[in-house]
């Protein structure tokens, strides 16, 4: 009995323990069910972390294009190298030492550090720092190694196909403090709200390896791509400017160079460049300032353009009236104002004073003819005392120094008062555009890349009418004489009438505040427009303190840049030389030129025969049977012996360009969408693409020109051998 009692007592005790434990567990179960947490852990969130997976859906940053649709900044595919290290995963890095040995040379990284990374424990995978944003070609090299456990995350990186092309205008992108890609300079920064992208996300139920489970319900937040920006910049004109400035920078090593090319009819900026420059792909930056808009300095004699126009508008300018050049004495000021040669040219007319850039002439115009108040009002009318409002970041404004009489007089010829290059460009559009001053701008339109819808469309805007059409014409006529007879002779372009004004500005020492003295210690500049009677292009160039030695003149690098860029741009825009500027023999030939008819759609062989019989040189490109397009265009007047290029489509082989003219090269490039670089003058003597090589759209064609009859360099190889042309 006692034994049974003990058994029964034990059973009851165990039953009580069981009931107690069951009650605790049941209570815990209901508590967890009701609250969704256990020991402070949110089980719902824990489950999500374990089973709910998500991936980023990458968005694309907006592209930046030139005015013809050529990309200037774009996203291109890039890859990040991933190494899977989890040993129970089917494919993982099995031999870290061997993998590091193979990867290190390709990724240009330390083998030991990479091996340490690949031996890391308790992680599923690692991202290799040296393998971020690698190119497709590097990815292919790594794939060829066939290393188990090495894979790639596909992404994108910002790429600037033309390297240092308009770098201060376009800017660049980088990673901000929040580890997000964003614009850090130029238009990339100022247009971030338009260009910027926002990644999307996909959420799903997945296993421990992030493989999606069956019947998983996906939740997708779509990515938001950036908008595309279309600029007024012209890729070819910008390239002409960049190349000319780079050559001057290399040869003369100045403190800085600035160049702007604009369409004076609209205010569109066709090219803008500063030196020192940088490659936004490498971010090798030594200068963050866009000198074209952010740097104000004494302009020198280019300011005389606007003083002259003001005097003509107010009917106080008489070009035939005479004055005594050399020096001009102001009351109460001991030191006279001198002409740049100190002695002057004796008694000369005011027209001659403009041609010779006489400071005395403009002192008289300011003080005795116009008067200081009227001159000051025209500085405002020409917008020289305020920002232009150009759609670029960090525009500065100069300062009109106009407190004392000496400051009022020197402002008339460009000393004391400071202005920016873009202020001068805007003011000069009034001279070039019949009195209408156009606001400069670089953003043509903003579009949605998916739909093509125009989100913003920018139109030309008149910024003011400081002078009449008659005054603008008379000013251009006088400025043409500066180039024909005066200080602007180095800026003449054969076949075209150039109206413009030279400038030589003094530079102040940053430490002493005094003007620098010495050969070449100036800012040399030129502001010119072509053709004079109907300007299609307006250009400003300034070179700050070039390294020159006596007797070399400071204007030489400026003239080299202006004439080369302007001539190339005029020919590229098919602005033919003016009849009045042609030599008698050329004029006679021109008058007998015949209009070219359209050959599009005709059999290529028959069309070439027609051209040959008519006295032209036909060049047939492509492997098609009929003419798809032609250069020159229908209606163009040609002389006997000129080339006519017929394109039939399909595969194109490069012809032998030996003996071709500059215009022939431009026509070929236009027809085949090539990016040409031309050095020298005359006719083609070298070409970088070999004869009969396959040519594709966007290829770079580099040719060197030499005058007809020039002695041949014995070291030169033939053009057919495809020798690379160097500067």
Query: Which residues neighbour 317 within 8 Å (Cβ) at sequence distance 6 or greater?
Result: 308, 311, 350, 365, 369
CA dist 174 and 331 (Å) reads 59
CA dist 339 and 185 (Å) reads 43
Tokens representing residue 583 in the block: 């030599």
Tokens representing residue 269 in the block: 């900026």
DSSP letter, residue 214: T
> Quick check: bond before 551 cis, omega within 30?
yes
**Phi, psi angles (nearest 5°) of residue 211:** -85, 135
The β-bridge relationship of strands 64-65 and 228-231 is: parallel
Identify the CA nearest to 413 among candidates 477, 474, 364, 369. 364
CA dist 84 and 127 (Å) reads 9
Hey, how many other C-beta atoms are within 10 angstroms of the C-beta on 231? 27
First to last CA, the chain: 119
**Catalytic residue chosen out of the listed positions 167, 295, 301, 357:** 301
539, β-bridge pairs: 261, 528
On whether the CB atoms of residues 567 and 498 are closer than 8 A, the answer is no
Tell me yes or no: is domain 55-231 CATH 3.40.50.2000: no
| Topology adopted by domain 590-721 | Trypsin Inhibitor V; Chain A (3.30.10)
pLDDT given at position 256? 95
**Phi, psi angles (nearest 5°) of residue 406:** -60, -35
Residue with tokens 């190694």: 145
CA dist 457 and 232 (Å) reads 12
CA dist 663 and 571 (Å) reads 7
Identify the CA nearest to 601 among candidates 630, 574, 578. 630
CA dist 347 and 328 (Å) reads 13
Whether 357 is catalytic is no
pLDDT given at position 19? 78
> In the chain, what's the furthest Cα-to-Cα distance?
151
On whether the CB atoms of residues 519 and 533 are closer than 8 A, the answer is no
Tokens representing residue 183 in the block: 């614009």
Hey, how many other C-beta atoms are within 10 angstroms of the C-beta on 634? 11
CA dist 116 and 265 (Å) reads 64
| Topology adopted by domain 236-579 | Beta-lactamase (3.40.710)
Tokens representing residue 211 in the block: 């493989």
pLDDT given at position 30? 64
On whether the CB atoms of residues 421 and 291 are closer than 8 A, the answer is yes
State if pTM tops 0.85: no
DSSP letter, residue 404: S
Averaged pLDDT, groups of 10, the chain, 727 residues long: 62 75 69 57 54 68 93 87 86 90 90 89 86 82 90 83 91 82 92 88 62 64 89 94 93 95 97 94 89 95 97 97 95 89 92 96 96 97 97 94 95 96 98 97 95 93 97 97 92 92 87 80 95 96 91 87 93 76 42 72 90 89 90 76 90 90 82 74 81 86 68 40 29
DSSP letter, residue 512: T
């Amino acid at each position: 009995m006692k034994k049974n009692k003990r058994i029964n007592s034990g059973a009851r005790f165990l039953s009580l323990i069981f009931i107690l434990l069951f009650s605790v567990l049941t209570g815990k179960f209901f508590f967890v069910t009701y609250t969704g947490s256990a020991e402070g852990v949110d089980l719902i969130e824990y489950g999500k972390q374990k089973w709910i997976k998500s991936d980023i859906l990458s968005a694309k940053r907006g592209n930046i294009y030139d005015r013809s649709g050529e990309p200037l900044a774009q996203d291109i595919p890039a890859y990040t190298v991933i190494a899977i290290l989890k040993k129970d995963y089917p494919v993982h890095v099995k031999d870290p030492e061997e993998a590091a040995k193979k990867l290190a040379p390709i990724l240009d990284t330390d083998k030991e550090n990479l091996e340490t990374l690949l031996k890391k424990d308790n992680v599923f995978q690692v991202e290799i720092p040296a393998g971020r944003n690698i190119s497709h070609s590097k990815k292919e090299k790594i794939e060829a190694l066939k290393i188990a456990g090495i894979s790639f995350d596909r992404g994108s990186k910002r790429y600037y196909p033309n390297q240092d092309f308009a770098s201060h205008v376009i800017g660049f992108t980088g990673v901000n403090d929040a580890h997000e890609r964003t614009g850090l300079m130029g238009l990339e920064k100022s247009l971030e709200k338009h260009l910027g992208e926002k990644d999307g996300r996909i959420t799903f139920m997945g296993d421990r390896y992030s493989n999606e489970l069956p019947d998983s319900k996906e939740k997708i937040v779509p990515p938001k791509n950036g908008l595309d920006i279309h600029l007024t910049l012209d890729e070819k004109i910008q390239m002409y400017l960049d190349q000319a400035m780079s050559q001057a920078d290399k040869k003369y090593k100045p403190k800085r160079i600035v160049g702007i090319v604009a369409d004076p009819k609209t205010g569109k900026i066709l090219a803008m460049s500063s030196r020192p420059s940088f490659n936004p792909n490498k971010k090798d930056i030594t200068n963050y300032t866009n000198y074209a808009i952010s740097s104000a300095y004494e302009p020198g004699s280019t300011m005389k353009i606007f003083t002259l126009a003001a005097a003509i508008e107010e009917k106080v300018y008489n070009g035939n009236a005479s004055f005594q050049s050399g020096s001009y004495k102001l009351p109460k000021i001991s030191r006279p104002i001198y002409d740049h040669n100190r002695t002057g040219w004796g008694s000369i007319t005011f027209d001659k004073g403009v041609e010779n850039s006489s400071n005395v002439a403009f002192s008289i115009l300011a003080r005795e003819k116009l008067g200081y108040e009227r001159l000051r009002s025209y500085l405002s009318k020409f917008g020289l005392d305020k920002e232009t409002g150009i759609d670029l970041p960090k525009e500065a404004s100069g300062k009109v120094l106009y407190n004392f009489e000496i400051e009022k007089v020197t402002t008339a010829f460009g000393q004391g008062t400071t202005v920016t290059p873009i202020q001068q460009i805007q003011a000069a559009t009034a001279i070039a555009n019949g009195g209408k001053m156009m606001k400069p701008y670089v953003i043509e339109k903003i579009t949605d890349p998916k739909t093509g819808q125009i989100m913003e469309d920018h139109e030309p805007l008149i910024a003011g009418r400081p002078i009449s059409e008659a005054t603008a014409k008379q000013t251009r006529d006088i400025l043409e004489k500066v180039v024909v007879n005066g200080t602007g002779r180095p800026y003449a372009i054969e076949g075209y009438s150039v109206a413009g004004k030279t400038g030589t500005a003094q530079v102040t020492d940053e430490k002493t505040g005094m003007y620098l003295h010495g050969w070449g210690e100036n800012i040399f500049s030129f502001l010119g427009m072509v053709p004079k009677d109907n300007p299609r292009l307006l250009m400003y160039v300034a070179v700050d303190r070039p390294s020159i030695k006596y007797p070399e003149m400071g204007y030489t690098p400026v003239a080299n840049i202006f004439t080369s860029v302007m001539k190339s741009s005029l020919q590229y825009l098919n602005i033919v030389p003016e009849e009045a500027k042609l030599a008698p023999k050329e004029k006679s030939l021109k008058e007998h030129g015949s209009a070219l008819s359209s050959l599009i759609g005709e059999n290529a062989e028959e069309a070439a025969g027609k051209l040959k019989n008519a006295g032209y040189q036909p060049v047939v490109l492509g492997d098609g049977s009929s003419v798809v397009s032609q250069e020159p265009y229908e209606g163009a007047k040609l002389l006997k012996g000129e080339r006519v290029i017929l394109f039939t489509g399909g595969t194109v082989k490069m012809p032998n360009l030996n003996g071709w003219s500059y215009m022939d090269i431009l026509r070929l490039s236009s027809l085949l969408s090539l990016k040409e670089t031309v050095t020298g003058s005359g006719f083609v003597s070298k070409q970088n693409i070999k004869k009969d090589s396959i040519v594709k759209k966007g290829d770079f064609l580099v040719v060197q020109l030499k005058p007809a009859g020039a002695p041949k360099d014995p070291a030169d190889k033939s053009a057919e051998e495809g020798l690379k042309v160097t500067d």
